[in-house]
Structure 1
């Protein structure tokens, strides 16, 4: 009998979880004070939403009785109000580390996810931690959570004897919804109890399905509201004081404005006038010995916020805009460059983005960079001249993304770079598709891209990829293939390293969907990959990989993997010459990783790698160690040390025409070298409160390549000794970056930022292996630069200003 009762309870539970929950919002005319108390009388009569369900790790299990969650929603003509009570029978154990916005640290969390069109396409997510820290993002199934998006809203969290409370006010200007009189929004609520790492949602989200945004509940009851005029101004003013040893100290003032305007209920225009990126995070430069440029993260807010549409098809690399000059100046005999720029100045930029009710997403981005010169000097006569290294340039991206059936899309993308005058132009067009079955169990993904470079000789290229995957259940798999022609070149506004190949790849994996007695999460992956040169058919890459990733019931992470390269392969990129290659021996690569539970004051990250080649004494190995200590809810320090060594690494150093005979193939010179890299990183955070933080970031980096033997690359890809080459091609690069910053969000959307920064870097051919001497010399020479800056930005909402004026009238 007990078994029968249990069976019916189980069936009832499954039925409830499969249903889309509905809750009612209640209109209010009362003034709601956002103070984390919920003491206005209207809260007592509002409808309550409850009965949360576990999302991770025990998916589908009801929330425990001692940690119930209740939600109430109110609305008026200006905003929606959320009141949430997170019960906890041990409120003294609630974790509440104070952190920066969008970085919740070690703290309990509450979130509300809103889709004003209720179409399962895109959620606006608003989070508040138990430490009263805000976070917000845009969520799509295709791109995940995009925390670069920031809205202006108000919240307050407070710890009580029964748990903790969150009160939120979200102005309609921060949302997107239709102009219909009766609104039905998609909505879900989220709670994370950090000390147990359990996550709950109000409407059940089944993790066996490959979608999150389509498993929301519904919010009804909102009537007779109108989408407001979404017009925001963000004026800013900044001051920079620059100094350096042996250099003149000077100060500069900057001012400008960002504008955001909602054309209608779906589309928004962002414009940046007189941009200022002076306080952008520095790039972590490395000693780059490879054939390709180093790829950097985008840290400029304009190019990260709300750019999910522009990232479709992976054709847009925003660092091209305002990046290094694209033109190499022609130097005559006895000439040298005495003055140039590292980055081209951005004149202005504009982007339009949004999605229609029918699911058509439209994105347009346009930016203009200024004409830039370098100064060249004749070392004999002393005369100087200026030459263009970057003409006036226009960058444009157009995206049309049609979604259908809530989980599939077909996308058209075009990127275009037009340079003034006779300089080269570039255009890339792509079509991408992401097709999923209605139940989100299988997907077909792919794209096709065509590039055209207009130069002295036009260049055309093609790239395509297609993959098929099972995306649900414990056992999943995927297979795919890529095809790339030799002249495919999207690099004027995108980034792509490898061309002229085709490949085949596959993956099979197993994961647990619910915790066991030992593990909260557990996943095993098996991968295979084969790549061939498109013209010669030679094998460029071939590997088999197996790895495991797991989290114990005590929330400690462990991972490890082994990759086998069982066949000789050929690298067509390292020689830096057409139709030349180097043979890469068979090898085995392995890694292991540990990350202890961050809930504890002390935690440790540890990673190690060990790689062995089928070549005498050629190995590489390294490790990272990262202890972190949380002294209090306000103070956190993290240190990270990295060491990596490559013994008997074979790499390109030079090429030339032997005896200046054009009929003789290029002589390509390699070196047998040891490459050693050290990196030290220290970061710290002290939070005065949830709106005011002091942050420290220090990075010291040193890497050198010590050439032992000079080698001649043969036409069959082998290397032979070459004693005639006598140039010193050793490499030593070391750098230092330090940032100390103060940030104060003194009003919603408004911030004061104070930054002190010093940095230096140096490249040498002579290797000084004294670590202490390297660092001290870098910090005491003329290369060390000091920058002190203050920036103030103020958020102005047109609606708020208009309402104040009307009230006064």
Structure 2
């Protein structure tokens, strides 16, 4: 093993690269513009006439490397001044009247042609900012990094205009320097690429070829030269906002008015400070809550803009789970026999937050994120005298993330990450640090990455500190038709990053590998085709028992009509041992998990058609009498016009004779149940776009899941389960949740938005229930339905505009 690792390290030190020829980068020279450019899609200013043209685009999908036809050519020009860079793009199309132009909300193109520009102000081959416009004028922007791919949660303020012409369509764009990051050098050299998607034919093109034999897009950008001696304006922006909420339920009606302020300040051309004062997240998307019968918490997506925009640095090392900030309290009160908790806060209030991030000209990225949350209290009722008392369940707390990320050789990096949570008084504190590296050979043919993480947690400031480690190493070939990788991971028993991160399992070591084959250019049958195999094994550190063993095969393909087909199977070929499901501190307790095999397939028809459908059935056999799982998801969608579309989704899943934990009795016996579980999920989403700045959106979800226990079982020391006739407590579960959002949004000025939202939701959990769909649907709508009507106004103010006025 040591010899193998030594060979891998030598491979990277000498930058060996096999079998890939790097295509020379294209270069474009731009001119300084002294006249005012009107963003109207006309290109009629004199400055546009004497600037170089970027042309000769090549296909990246499906026929990688094929030149763009002359009658569908793309021509792009770039200008700059002291305020912004300007893009003028002409997209030729032999049939302009057939250009797809669906209207959608921001960052969602739907069925529409697209033009985009990618800019890397440091030309370091590691990331880029992308700005895209559809043929209907809808904007999108993203931050691409090698580690995270495209992140469309990042948003910026810029201007664009689209025209449909006799020869095709045009786009004119103004991208302020405030939307970019670059060094303070007098002469700038930027990474640059242009993107065009012909949605009608599902063809994608770029100016500088993105070779699909190489997995790293950011290293395959062209070069923009000519920007010199720019005097960038102060990057200081204020976004004040005001919100009104009217809330009602069967017991209470409340009205609430909020004021707040976001601040964005460019410390220099590379570093930015973002701060939120008196935050308001009342209009964020609802969480898709499920009936969670497993041993681990449900992980939710982050929907709050501050914690999604520009957080690439903070995701290094996978230590940061932003939902911890302003999440549920970290403790639950202990009560006497004559007491009960009658009010427990769902979330902790966030007081303020700020983040500073950027990168020096030498490639050192620095990120600091800090947030403070308020105290939270539970209300406890004394059932003897009906008196109430308050107990603090979350103190004043400070959350901090600090990142140093050094990039080098245009495709590699080494990072240091630290997360820290400090709570006042005797409450729990936590500190986690990580060293993370991602090394790639010069031509991006091989990769070596890994990390070492160290956690230090104090449950109480007077109690001994708990320390743990988590380390991984992975090597892979990352180019060509055939690719492979293998790695390992070790996590000690006391590793814990859950105060500001999320981690489910500890005390194990794992070995894993993967291999894949893909076509790089279309065949007579397929536009794309790939086979992917993964092998994974996991062992408990304390007993060396195998916790997990899995072989997984996937096939994904696209036919010549751009319909997607695929499928696969997953096999657990040996019995494994689960140390988490027993829910006990006893390290010797585990439950035996039988062997199983799971099959699935899917079809997704071309979304260009007015009617399209996704269908995904699955079936699993477990090596236990009568124990099977099966289900399917079907998602029909219909586009009535370029303005109006609906998508319905129905998901059904059934588990027969599923086995899981339900309780620990007074004698510390661990009680399991053999149960049938059924889940139905119905969702409906739709949009009606008045234009590219005004949208109505609809989102409805009804989730119903129930579990009926048939046989009560006691866990034995050898991991087996013995029938238990003495336990009679009802532990059946019936869970319904309903959410409906109807919203209107209007981007009335760059960065400024008016949003009107009507929301209703309810949640119902029962032990005794009727397993009739209609009854459950009616009950959840008629039980404690919460209704919220809100209006929110955000206005973007540029300090320079104010300065010019005065």
TM > 0.5 fold call = yes
Distance in 1, matches of 2:256 and 2:264, equals 27
Distance in 2, matches of 1:712 and 1:179, equals 68
State the secondary structure of the residue aligned to 1:20. Answer: coil
- Deviation at 1:435? 0.7
Distance in 2, matches of 1:332 and 1:428, equals 35
State the secondary structure of the residue aligned to 1:150. Answer: coil
Range that drifts further, 723-732 or 335-344: 335-344
Q: 1:804 to 1:27 in 2, by over 3 A?
A: farther
Q: What are the within-5 Å matches in structure 2 for residues 721-800 of structure 1?
A: 721-781=723-783, 783-800=784-801
Query: Deviation string for 1:18-67 (max 9, x for gaps)?
Result: 22211121222322211122222332332211100111111111001221
Distance in 2, matches of 1:176 and 1:34, equals 23
Are the aligned partners of 1:177 and 1:227 in contact in 2 as well (CA < 8 Å)? no
2:32 to 27, 33, 44: 27
Corresponding residue for 2:285?
Answer: 281
Distance in 1, matches of 2:21 and 2:397, equals 58
Are the aligned partners of 1:17 and 1:60 in contact in 2 as well (CA < 8 Å)? no
Are the aligned partners of 1:179 and 1:226 in contact in 2 as well (CA < 8 Å)? no
1:390 to 387, 394, 403: 394
Distance in 1, matches of 2:536 and 2:85, equals 51
Q: What are the within-5 Å matches in structure 2 for residues 696-711 of structure 1?
A: 696-711=698-713
Distance in 2, matches of 1:335 and 1:59, equals 69
1:338 to 342, 350, 366: 342
Answer yes or no: is 1:358 the counterpart of 2:370: no
Distance in 2, matches of 1:460 and 1:197, equals 52
Distance in 2, matches of 1:45 and 1:368, equals 53
| TM-score normalised to structure 1 length | 0.95
Corresponding residue for 1:347?
Answer: 351
Answer yes or no: is 1:212 the counterpart of 2:208: no
- Deviation at 1:119? 2.2
Corresponding residue for 1:517?
Answer: 524
Distance in 2, matches of 1:175 and 1:586, equals 52
Are the aligned partners of 2:104 and 2:138 in contact in 1 as well (CA < 8 Å)? yes
State the secondary structure of the residue aligned to 2:774. Answer: helix
Structure 2 regions of 5+ residues with no counterpart? 1-18
Answer yes or no: is 1:637 the counterpart of 2:639: no
2:434 to 430, 435, 438: 430
Corresponding residue for 1:442?
Answer: 446
Cα-Cα RMSD? 1.4
Are the aligned partners of 1:179 and 1:227 in contact in 2 as well (CA < 8 Å)? no
Corresponding residue for 2:802?
Answer: 801
Q: What are the within-5 Å matches in structure 2 for residues 188-207 of structure 1?
A: 188-207=193-212
State the secondary structure of the residue aligned to 2:801. Answer: helix
> When the two structures are aligned, how many residues end up with a matched partner?
783
Distance in 2, matches of 1:289 and 1:599, equals 40
Corresponding residue for 2:99?
Answer: 94
Query: Deviation string for 1:343-385 (max 9, x for gaps)?
Result: 0000100111111111111111110000111110101111111
Answer yes or no: is 1:548 the counterpart of 2:555: yes
Corresponding residue for 2:11?
Answer: none
| TM-score normalised to structure 2 length | 0.96
Structure 1 regions of 5+ residues with no counterpart? 1-13, 659-665
Are the aligned partners of 1:20 and 1:218 in contact in 2 as well (CA < 8 Å)? yes
State the secondary structure of the residue aligned to 1:351. Answer: strand
2:669 to 663, 667, 681: 667
Are the aligned partners of 1:178 and 1:227 in contact in 2 as well (CA < 8 Å)? no
Corresponding residue for 1:80?
Answer: 85
Are the aligned partners of 1:712 and 1:719 in contact in 2 as well (CA < 8 Å)? yes
Corresponding residue for 2:52?
Answer: 47
Corresponding residue for 2:120?
Answer: 115
State the secondary structure of the residue aligned to 1:734. Answer: strand
Are the aligned partners of 1:739 and 1:758 in contact in 2 as well (CA < 8 Å)? yes
- Deviation at 1:657? 4.0
- Deviation at 1:197? 1.2
Q: 1:638 to 1:80 in 2, by over 3 A?
A: same
State the secondary structure of the residue aligned to 2:219. Answer: coil
Corresponding residue for 2:693?
Answer: 691
Q: What are the within-5 Å matches in structure 2 for residues 56-71 of structure 1?
A: 56-71=61-76
- Deviation at 1:15? 13
State the secondary structure of the residue aligned to 2:690. Answer: strand
Answer yes or no: is 1:410 the counterpart of 2:414: yes
- Deviation at 1:224? 2.5
Are the aligned partners of 1:141 and 1:212 in contact in 2 as well (CA < 8 Å)? yes
Query: Deviation string for 1:407-446 (max 9, x for gaps)?
Result: 1111111111111001110111111111111110000111
Range that drifts further, 622-631 or 154-163: 154-163
Answer yes or no: is 1:590 the counterpart of 2:599: yes
Corresponding residue for 2:6?
Answer: none
Corresponding residue for 2:326?
Answer: 322
1:486 to 469, 485, 493: 493
Are the aligned partners of 1:652 and 1:670 in contact in 2 as well (CA < 8 Å)? yes
Distance in 2, matches of 1:16 and 1:492, equals 46
Corresponding residue for 1:661?
Answer: none
Corresponding residue for 2:266?
Answer: 262
Distance in 1, matches of 2:408 and 2:28, equals 26
State the secondary structure of the residue aligned to 1:554. Answer: coil
Distance in 1, matches of 2:22 and 2:570, equals 41
Answer yes or no: is 1:463 the counterpart of 2:467: no
